[in-house]
Structure 1
Amino acid sequence: MDILRFATAGSVDDGKSTLIGRLLYDTKTAFSDQIDAVEKVSRERGDEHVNLALLTDGLRAEREQGITIDVAYRYFATPKRKFIIADTPGHVQYTRNMVTGASTADLALVLVDARKGIVEQSRRHAFLATLLQVPHIVLCVNKMDLVDYSEEVYQRIHEEFTAFAAKLRVPDLTVIPVSAIHGENVVTRSENMPWYDGPSLLHHLENVHVASDRNLIDVRFPVQYVIRPQSDEWHDYRGYAGTVAGGSIRKGDDVMVLPSGFTTKVKAVETADGEIDEAYPPMSVTIRLEDDIDVSRGDMICRPQNRPHVAQDVDAMICWMDETTPFRVGAKYAIKHTTRTARTIVKDLNYRLDINSLHRDEAATTLTLNEIGRVRLRTTVPLMCDEYSRNRSTGGFVLIDEATNRTVAAGMITEAV
């Protein structure tokens, strides 16, 4: 079975955690002792219904305030597909947490409260999802029970969000009316909304096509580890382990190793279970080459006629994540890109982006917590990279403060200079 990774997004109290709790509850994925504990806490708090949000909100501060702060990862499966859910916060001060959760997602689930309609945070999270190149977006109009299952309310929100999404060039948008607390249109179709003829949320999640979203054209294999056993039986063995970031790799393929530029052929593609015919994203494999050439961690295996950019100057969009020190021109950081680590200096801040109005502030000189801007970086060693829009694995990176070892920014390469 394939895996669908999806992240929730939306404003505070739109019901993101409740919706995930309902998915876990109705698909019989939550353990009975978890459900018993949630029912007990709900009774003690005097809640009218079983508070399914408690299945994901694990921090004490989250339960006390009724909000999500940390990114909670939950797993469940149906006979058709496995799912990894990232329940991300709605508060504006936790934008960095939302970026973290959505960075690996195949689909973003944006919730809106049917009573409030599209609010600033709805637009903010939809923009962040498109900035992070999440290929599928589902707008869930939640709490339909509180507007008497009104088709008119649903259509107004549908039209407003569709018009906004057109500016963001969303490749695939689906709108579903739901009531998470009652489980309507979540796992099964709702009888209270006969005017809606689309699928339930779970049916859409099970059937959305994500295999074509992966880049199967550009072969990209960042070397993570060189396997060189020190035993008599395996003294001739030399393998290069890593995760396939793009394309498909087969035995006999012509390949090039960057940055050295040496060319050779693939001798074998192996996993823990033995040799396989083909590797593709996101498989973790070991590649053996026919020639003994110099290959080390951080190098990139690709096709001779289809190479990534090899550049020391890159333009990128970054989300600043450090709450103590602002981003500034001239600062030096460590950069982690695929399996390569280098040092980098900030050459320029082109503009700061207001993600509510999409206005570019070209006079900005710094970025503070949760702010997004376009920057130019110069690295000490070349990066083998692609534009983030072409390959999320080879186009993404993080910046690290070497003094504190904190991750201070997440970045998406827009252009290799």
Structure 2
Amino acid sequence: MNNVPFNFNANAPSYYPGMLYKAEEANEAKENEIEQVLNISDNIEDTNVNDIEDKISKITLNSDESKEDIEELQEERIQEKKSTMVEVDSRHHLNLIFIGHVDAGKSTACGNILYILGYVDDRTIEKYEREAKEKNRESWFLAFIMDINEEERQKGKTVEVGRAHFETKDRRFTILDAPGHKNFIPNMISGAAQADVGVLIVSARKGEFETGFERGGQTREHTLLARTLGINQLIVAINKMDDPTCNWSEGRYDDIQKKITPFIKSCGYNINKDVYFVPISGLTGQNLSEHVSDKNSKLHDPRASWYDLSKPTLFQILNTLPPPPWDEKGPLRIPLLEGYKDNGIIAVGKIESGTIYGNNMSCTIMPNKVKVKVLNVYLEEDEVPYAKPGENVRVKLLGVEEDQISKGFVLCDSINLCSVVHEFIGRVAIVELLEHKPIITAGYFCIFHAHTTCEEIQFVEMLEVIDKKSKKKKIKPKFIKSDCIVTAHFLLSNPVCVEVYDKLPQLGRFTLRDQGKTIAIGKILELKA
């Protein structure tokens, strides 16, 4: 694996199965014949799948010897490809998204994890320390590992979702560092849609926990969104325990845990089964890998003796997390994040269901029904013969143009396409409506988020409402308020790729937002033709 994990590198060796390459010893006549085949592969990204066989069939070879030469070259190329392909790693892969209020220390914790594991050398760290000092941000140097653009470094706020990779003995991980500021929640949603496990970073510094957790802070909204987007396991890392306002105080740790637990439970998490708490210092590295109570560690702090060696570090929790119940034999579903041209057309996304293979697997991009062939499959920078659910993949496709791939489209196997709808029946829990829009009636518009897609949506009709407190049910109400569960008929502005929740939860969950605020979370019950 490449040991430079924090820069997404889409450059990959080009290879098109079935296309032939010139041998050095071929004579001039044979070169011309074979070159005709090469010309097809050189322009392959501009060539329709159905035209390729026609073009090849028009090439007339002068002798049986030429045919044998081409067959021999083809076999050599196949063997060469096999020798460069990496075997699929059998270790479980998990996508971790670091979430939480702005300035809770997410990027610093992510950066220190990579430094501790040796993915960033001392020379690079020294460079970041100098840059941080020049910006009067001495404590931010580790965050620079994840925040790679100048705007993020200058303001000290993550804007885009940072991405990095690391490995342990038993697991492979992708870190997704989400922005904490409320203005960048859509970016956080996009990142959370790719994640399997949430790491909620909560600052223990006096005043910072309270600011992040009270109304208007992002601790609550991030936690709610994580659960809505299918993140079923949550690690609550109570950060900055080394701060002078905390001094590794057991009382401060217990107080934060006591205050945040009821809210996490209200989001739908099973506290005893799905949630883990750990005190850390993202800056010093205490309780990331080395235990703060280990007397043999240079990170030992006697003030933290209450958190003894029987309790886990963050790494110990990560290494024991059970893998999600993926369906590798199910229909292929890859919600796409982007498509771009790089010596061919590359599509990027996370496999939510099924298994994808290189070497001309037939697939279809929905909703525009573009038929494609999968030429190559890449994990990080390595080409692999196939990839299973939970993996973030780049796939090289034949038969599609760059402008035919958009965020929110879904790559499917051609024999089992995903559903595409304008309308559906859904059940939503109304979280909290806007102060100046305290009720919802038929005709209410807001923004719909599901997997990687985002569209405008309208409440067409309320079919049933249940008051959360009284449990009273009302059929076809004229309006609804906060703190209720409503079944409604929804109309989207454009068709989207979704599924009924019970069929495929990853494509059946959704979030509704209005004017930068999450107002409801829900699931799809029925698709309308």
* TM-score, L = length of structure 1: 0.63
| One-letter amino acid of the structure 2 residue matched with residue 7 of structure 1 | I
**Structure 1 CA distance for aligned equivalents of residues 510 and 159 of structure 2:** 24
SS for the counterpart of 1:162 is helix
- The number of residue pairs the alignment matches comes to 325
1:198 matched to 2:311: yes
Deviation at 1:60, TM superposition (A): 2.1
Q: Residue 314 of structure 1 corresponds to which residue in structure 2?
A: 424
Residue 257 of structure 2 aligns with which residue? 158
Counterpart in 1 of 2:220?
123
Residue type matched to 1:17 in 2?
S
1:21, 1:53 within 8 Å by CA — same for their partners in 2? yes
1:414 aligns with 2:524: yes
SS in 1 for 2:242: helix
| 2:321 is the alignment partner of 1:208 | yes
For 2:240, the equivalent position in structure 1 comes to 143
Q: Say whether the 8 Å CA contact 2:420–2:497 is kept in structure 1.
A: yes
Superposition CA RMSD, Å: 4.6
Q: Please give the secondary structure, in 1, of the residue aligned with 2:94.
A: strand
Once the two structures are TM-superposed, the CA of residue 76 in structure 1 deviates from its matched residue by: 2.0
Determine if the alignment matches structure 1 residue 98 to structure 2 residue 197: no
Summarize deviations over 1:234-254 as a string: whole Å, max 9, x none: xxxxxxxx98643689xxxxx
Q: Distance in 2 between matches of 1:244 and 1:8?
A: 20
Show the counterpart of 1:406: none
What's the CA shift string for 1:91-144, capped at 9, x where partnerless? 111111111111110111111111233513211111111111101111111111
Q: What pairs with 1:218-257 in structure 2 (closer than 5 Å)?
A: 219-222=330-333, 245-246=352-353
Q: Give the corresponding residue for 2:289.
A: 187
Q: What is the rounded CA distance, in whole Å, between the counterparts of 1:378 and 1:175 in structure 2? A: 39
Unaligned runs of 5+ in 2: 1-90, 294-300, 336-348, 357-363, 367-374, 378-382, 396-410, 430-441, 464-477, 482-486, 513-520
Distance, in Å, in 2 between the alignment partners of 1:181 and 1:22 is 7
- CA shift, 1:158, in A, is 1.2
Aligned partner of residue 386 in structure 1, secondary structure: coil
Deviation at 1:347, TM superposition (A): 5.7
When structure 1 is superposed on structure 2, of 43-52 and 94-103 the one drifting more is 43-52
Q: Helix, strand or coil for the counterpart of 1:11?
A: coil
- What is the one-letter code of the residue matched to 1:184? Q
CA distance 1:18–1:275, change in 2 (3 Å) = closer
The letter of the residue matching 2:500 is: D
Aligned to 1:79: 169
TM-fit CA distance, 1:149: 0.6
C-alpha deviation, 1:80, in angstroms: 2.4
1:377 aligns with 491
Corresponding position: 1:168 with 2:267: yes
Is residue 2:371 matched to residue 1:281? no
Higher helix share: 2
Letter in 2 for 1:143: K
Q: CA deviation at 1:59?
A: 2.5
Q: How big is the shift at 1:17?
A: 0.9
Amino acid at match of 1:181: L
Assess if the C-alpha contact under 8 Å between 1:222 and 1:301 holds in 2. Answer: no
**C-alpha distance in 2 between matches for 1:203 and 1:190:** 13
Partners of 1:2 and 1:159 in 2: CA distance: 33
1:41 CA drift (Å): 1.3
Give the CA deviation at 1:153: 0.9
Is contact 1:223–1:299 with CA below 8 Å preserved after alignment? no
* CA 33–300 in structure 1, closer or farther in 2 if over 3 Å, else same: same
What whole-Å deviation, never above 9, does each CA across 1:238-278 have from its counterpart, x for those lacking one?
xxxx98643689xxxxxxx9x9xxxxxxxxxx9879999xx
Residue in 2 that maps onto 1:263: none
Contact 1:10 1:125 in 2 (8 A): yes
Q: Deviations over 1:306-354 (max 9, x none)?
A: x987866314579xxxxxxxxx9599x999999xx9x998463869xxx
Letter of the 1:158 partner, please give it.
Q
Equivalent residue number for residue 64 of structure 2? none
Aligned counterpart in structure 2 of residue 2 of structure 1, from 92, 101, 110: 92
Structure ranking higher in strand proportion:
1
> Where do residues 266-345 of structure 1 align in structure 2 (5 Å cutoff)?
281-282=389-390, 301=415, 313-315=423-425, 329=443
Identity %, equivalent residues: 26
Unaligned runs of 5+ in 1: 225-241, 250-256, 260-269, 286-296, 319-327, 352-360, 365-372, 400-410
Report if the CA contact (8 A) 2:423-2:491 is conserved.
yes
Is the 2:240–2:281 Cα contact (8 Å) retained in structure 1? yes
Maintained 8 Å contact 2:236/2:275: yes
Q: What's the counterpart of residue 508 of structure 2?
A: 395
Deviations 1:279-306 (A, max 9, x none): 8525789xxxxxxxxxxx867645xxxx
Q: CA deviation at 1:5?
A: 0.6
How far apart are the structure 1 equivalents of 2:123 and 2:236? 32
Letter in 2 for 1:176: V
In structure 2, relative to structure 1, the CA distance for the partners of 1:41 and 1:101 (3 Å cut) is same
The answer to whether the Cα contact below 8 Å between 1:350 and 1:376 also exists between their aligned partners in 2 is no
Task: Describe the shift of the 1:330–1:170 C-alpha distance in structure 2 as closer, same or farther (beyond 3 A).
Answer: closer
Alpha-carbon deviations, 1:360-403, whole Å to 9, x = none? x9569xxxxxxxx987126888967231x76354336899xxxx
Q: Is the 8 A contact 1:220 1:245 kept in 2?
A: no
**Counterpart residue type for residue 223 of structure 2:** A
Question: Aligned with 2:238: secondary structure?
Answer: strand
Give 1:403's aligned residue.
none
What is the alpha-carbon distance in structure 2 between the residues aligned to residue 374 and residue 144 of structure 1? 45
Larger radius of gyration: 2
Q: Judging changes above 3 Å, is the alpha-carbon distance between structure 1 residues 362 and 89 closer, same or farther for their aligned structure 2 residues?
A: farther
Do the aligned partners of 2:202 and 2:236 also contact (CA within 8 Å) in 1? yes
Equivalents in 2 of 1:77, 1:374: separation in Å?
A: 44
Partners in 2 of 1:208 and 1:65 — Cα distance? 35
SS in 2 for 1:90: coil
CA spacing shift, 1:344–1:25, aligned 2, 3 Å:
closer
Whole-Å Cα distance in 2 between the matches of residues 349 and 209 of structure 1?
41
